[in-house]
Chain A
Amino acid sequence: MNAWIPLYVVIPLASAFIMAILGRLVKNMGKVILLIELLFLTCLTLVFILNSKGTLSYNVGGFPDVGDIPIAIYMVMDGLTKLLLLIISAVGFITALFSISYTREYTAERKFYILFSLMIAGMNGMVISGDIFNIYVFLEIAAISSYILVAFGVEKHQLEASFKYQVLGCLASLLILLAIGFIYWGTGTLNIADISRQLPYSANFIKFVSLLFLVGFGLKAAIFPFHSWLPDAHSSAPSPISAMLSGVLIKAIGLYVIFRLFFNMFALNADIAMTILVLGTLSMIIGGLMAIGQWDMKRLLAYSSISQMGYVVMAVGIGMTIMVKDGSKTIAAFAFLGALLHLLNHSVFKSLLFLNAGAVEYSTGIRDMRKLGGLAEKMPITSKTSLIASLSISGIPPFNGFFSKLIIILAAVRAHYYWLAFLAVAVSVVTISYFMKFQKYIFYNKPGEYDNQIKEVPAPMSIAMVILALLCLMLSLMVIPSIRDQFIFPAVNVLIKNLQYSTAVLG
């Protein structure tokens, strides 16, 4: 299986540039190539999840280790990587399906697909790389293509949002590069597994570098004090791109790296664990409260993303504080299970909600909820799928959001963080309230004033939304033990057995 690992980077990059060349000659080439590419990667990831156990590492260039110093670039495939790769390729495929009709209005349609494919290449590369500098390189590929995609409609507010995103994104990249420089200076190596073996260095040095990483990747993941770019960027982008940014990008280039570095590279540290816990709780509460007041539907969804990511970060923080105190591993594993399940679920229902908002905007051209209304009869598929997604994100059984939130709340109770459990329930109520607003003002209120006849969106868009709505139901099955052990538990193990990473990679 090892030989298939580099394909996660090669295929998206190659297809991006094949699109650039062939796309001029053959119309719609980009769409076909992108769909085939993402379908293939989804199948490949499923094969990896079902067939291979443990950690696979791949040595790019085939350079043997000198002594016990790894000099080649490593690609590492473990449980957490597989989960993220599944999210990237599956959600990417469905979003690409939605884009087919959505992008017809753009003049530079071909470039949309090239950049989409490059963004996938960047995210796959980040997730799969076992080398901290390559994480930076792929981070830039993913981030720069997302800056361009946010500004793709070249209207005034889109350019402004993209500029804001670029300034903060560059700041984040700068901090990350600085931290990587410090790590290289301190340890003389860039391989994550090797760094974790060499790191016992001065405590202050490690604390400083961890803070740089936390701020840098926190900016990319839009955790609370660093979230200001997200509502602009995610609401101004074309809807399929909003779905990719909110559903996949902030997880793959933000949260994933935070998990990887703070569990597998640095030794666990009580201060950092507490910081992560507090920041997660704050973003959960503040994102939720900010979402209530929004009238722009995509802005509401963007704030909701901050809040839901807060749940994930909080649950990971709970697990981390337990592990620092040498508490019960079972409870920590339970918290991580909730976090990773919510990560997976959020990618499905949040991208569905953004696609719904995109469908509404496609048919009516309006984003302000006060001017919309009464669309439930005119756009039945959009209305029903968005109802499923809203119920799911608010945590109503039997949809997937219920189970992940339940696990997070139970984990908080079992870890004796009663206040956090209470806050999680309270924010869940807040979530229901703003999604009721979302449903009422768009689909059920008295009809708004529309110029033209409103029709249901074209078939590819409807199919994409229906697939995601079905996934919202099917992912509830993830709580069944045999399925859970196959999909989520390898990823939980990576976080629980945090010290085994370096031996698993380097042998």
Chain B
Amino acid sequence: MKGMTIIVRKVTQFIAPIIFLFGLYIVFYGHLTPGGGFAGGVIMASAFILQILANGEILDKLRQEESGLEFLESGAILGFLIIAGLGLIISSSFVFFSNFINKGIVGKLLSAGMIPLENIIVGTEVCAAITTIFIALVVFKDEVAL
């Protein structure tokens, strides 16, 4: 797929990192402020999608990225299951999804036990999944157009 004009590309170069950073903020503060893993993940994915739209990509490279993202996606879900399953193994009463880490003080960044960890994993998963869906649509469109 073709890229856009130099104006769009330059502006994207400035904006995309900021969008990504904002997504990270939403994910990391998920347990304190509105938002969380899903919302932050979508915002992070939009930074990647913006890059692809503005700069254009070679189809083969996109296919490679797609398979890499699939790896990340599966890994993230597996990570989530491991965190949930750790509760089953570690906690004394065998509770699935138990929050066994010290919960800290309410309102501090490092608090709420497992929840920030789970948010980070959900963010990774959603970011990878949304980008995969986008790339799949682009690849599909180019393949049909040929």
Contacts and interface: CB of A to CB of B under 8 A. Distances in A.
B88 A3 contact: yes
B75 A60 contact: no
A381 B62 CA distance: 48
A21 B78 contact: yes
B94 A10 contact: no
Interface in B27-78: 70-71, 74-75, 77-78
A134 to B, nearest CB: 13
Given A6-B88, A10-B85, A61 B97 contact: yes
A21 B94 contact: no
Contact of B71 (A18, A21, A58, A61): A21
A21 B74 contact: yes
A21 B77 CA distance: 11
Interface in A1-24: 2-3, 6, 10, 13-14, 17-18, 20-21, 24
Contacts of B111: none
Interface residues of A, number: 16
A17 B98 contact: no
A6 B84 CA distance: 10
A21 B75 contact: yes
Given A3-B88, A10-B81, A13-B81, A20 B96 contact: no
A2 B75 CA distance: 28
B78 A18 contact: yes
B31 to A, nearest CB: 15
A3 B77 contact: no
Contacts of A24: 71
A14 B75 contact: no
B102 interface: no
A59 B98 CA distance: 10
B95 interface: yes
B94 A17 contact: no
A62 interface: yes
A60 B95 CA distance: 6
A62 B81 contact: no
Contacts of A21: 71, 74-75, 78
Contacts of B71: 20-21, 24
Interface string A186-226: 00000000000000000000000000000000000000000
A284 to B, nearest CB: 41
Nearest to A58: B96
Nearest to A23: B74
B85 A17 contact: no
B93 interface: yes
Interface in A57-107: 58-62
B98 A62 contact: yes
A174 B53 CA distance: 34
Nearest to A22: B74
Nearest to A4: B94
A3 B94 contact: yes
Contact of B98 (A2, A18, A20, A61): A61
Contacts of A2: 94
Interface string B70-114: 110011011001001101100101111111000000000000000
A274 B97 CA distance: 43
Given A6-B88, A13-B81, A17-B81, A62 B74 contact: no
Nearest to B72: A21
Contacts of B77: 13, 17
A220 B81 CA distance: 29
Contacts of A20: 70-71, 74
Given A10-B81, A10-B96, A20-B70, A62 B91 contact: yes
B74 A61 contact: no
A60 B99 CA distance: 11
A13 B96 CA distance: 14
Contacts of A60: 95-97
A14 B94 contact: no
Nearest to B94: A3
A17 B78 contact: yes
Contacts of B98: 61-62
Given A21-B74, A60-B97, 14 more contacts: A6-B88, A6-B96, A13-B77, A14-B78, A14-B85, A17-B75, A17-B81, A20-B70, A21-B78, A59-B95, A60-B95, A60-B96, A61-B96, A61-B97
Interface of A: 2-3, 6, 10, 13-14, 17-18, 20-21, 24, 58-62
